[in-house]
Amino acid sequence: MAIDVMTEISTCLSQKKNFLLSGGAGSGKTYTLIQTLHSVYKKNANARVACITYTNVAANEIKARSPYSKLWVSTIHDFLWDNIKGFQKNLIKVLYELVNNDTMSYSGETPKEQLIFTSVEYKNYRRIEDGTISHDDLLKTAEYMFEHYPFLAKILCDKYDFIFIDEYQDTQRAVANIFLKHIKEKATGRLCLGFFGDK
């Protein structure tokens, strides 16, 4: 990536303006993401940054190349779950609503009107009867949570100064809505969102 790209990104970072970096395979997007992290921490060693990727391999690569104590690196699923799992009362209510309005498919033996959840958990398998959701369910649940509970976006804006999303082209609609509708709305001047990917 050319130096002027980093200059433009640095301007966005200092002004807390959201930005998007688009480039084809092999164009240096990951390198620029790492340089962006270095730039943030050079200016402020205590900056609170979340870097979201789509695979554990990519997350581990970023962690290895950017070993900052205030840097949170994870997959999108882990990031979303980390930010909603503490609101169990809301999660239980949302899971009932998603199942009962058929937004989330359910084919268990217990009639959906009789389901009783004591907690909601995110795992690699799905068992709605027990309140266990899996990957696709988590995205629907998180989108619904951020849409109906605006305080979640406010908490995120207080928790992080910057959120960088790697490989944004793989972003599902639910994830795009969370960041570009619900979080972006509350983030102006407080939280900078940066997207890195291939158009």
Please state, rounded to an integer, the average pLDDT across all residues of the chain.
90
Match 């581990």 to its residue by tokens.
60
Q: If you average pLDDT over residues 117-137, what whole number do you get?
A: 95
Per DSSP, 60 falls in state H
In angstroms, the CA 114 to CA 100 distance is 10
CB 22 within 8 Å of CB 199:
yes
pLDDT for 3 equals 52
Residue 1 has pLDDT above 50, yes or no: no
Q: If you average pLDDT over residues 5-21, what whole number do you get?
A: 92
Burial of 88 (0-12, 13-18, 19+ CB in 10 A): middle
Residue 169 has pLDDT above 80, yes or no: no
Of 58-72, 102-116, 163-177, the range with the lowest mean pLDDT is 163-177
- pTM, two decimal places: 0.89
